[in-house]
Amino acid sequence: MSDDNAPDPQRKVTVLIAEDQAMMRGALTVLLNLEPDIEVIAEVAEGDRILPEAERVRPDVALLDIELPGMSGIDACALLRQRLPDCRVIIVTTFGRPGYLRRALDAGASGFLVKDGPVDGLARAIRSVVNGQTVIDPDLAAGAIRAGESPLTDREREVLAAAEDGARATDIAKRLHLSDSTVRNYLSSAISKTGTRNRIEAVKKARELGWL
């Protein structure tokens, strides 16, 4: 599974993997370590461990899942790009949602791939981002163009996410330190912008499109 475009045959590209499923994390590590020019030097299972571990080992590339305990891979990507700008980030996820792709790119990701792709494609993507290229699953790119940008503001997204567990407006208001009326206004606006009939449908649609 080697590639002629390796950035430096004398030095291995170092990789950090953030994946909460142990079997998947282990499989990726084993397969990538079979590449002659790639070495996995760190693994984490929680999103809030990504930055501390990356600062410790200084990888060339971080492979991040999106839905991780502690912190999402997209939020961790933004922190990595601020603190370790030389570390390239590739989001590798089961959830190929257009909104996730847009948010990942906004956070500074250099790549966005789905997990059901071939591992040699992932190895090529690692080499490509080290060389300064951006690698995006073509089907996801097309879907993102069709879906358009999220119409939700950050505050509307925050309130809608807080409503996902069925919490009442009063409980959401307390949690987010807002007034009840403000929460209701944000929910009403989110429902309108998503073209749905209620908060349950709004959450579902926003989640499916990767806006949450």
How is residue 44 written in tokens?
């984490």
How is residue 72 written in tokens?
């999402």
* Residue type at position 44: V
Mean pLDDT over the full length of the chain: 87
CATH number of 13-146: 3.40.50.2300
Cα separation, 121 vs 52, whole angstroms: 28
* End-to-end Cα, the chain, rounded Å: 36
Helix, strand or coil, per DSSP, at residue 188: helix
In the predicted model, what is the mean pLDDT of residues 5-30? 85
Confidence label for 201 from pLDDT (cuts 50, 70 and 90): confident
The per-residue pLDDT for range 28-65, each reduced to its tens digit, is 999 999 999 999 999 999 999 999 999 999 999 999 99
Burial 167-202 (b: 16+ CB within 10 A, else e): eebeebbeeeebeeeebbbbbebbbebbebeebeeb
Cα separation, 3 vs 5, whole angstroms: 5
How is residue 84 written in tokens?
């370790």
* Residue type at position 51: L
Q: Got the DSSP string for 140-153?
A: HHHHHHHH-S----
Q: What is the model's pLDDT at position 57?
A: 97
Helix, strand or coil, per DSSP, at residue 139: helix
The per-residue pLDDT for range 116-138, each reduced to its tens digit, is 777 788 999 999 999 999 998 77
Q: What is the model's pLDDT at position 78?
A: 95
Q: Does domain 154-208 have CATH number 2.60.120.10?
A: no
The domain spans of the chain are 13-146, 154-208
As beta bridge partners, residue 44 has 18
> Contact, 193 vs 152, CB < 8 A?
yes
Confidence label for 7 from pLDDT (cuts 50, 70 and 90): very low
Q: What is the model's pLDDT at position 211?
A: 78
In the predicted model, what is the mean pLDDT of residues 101-116? 87
- Topology alike, domains 13-146 and 154-208: no
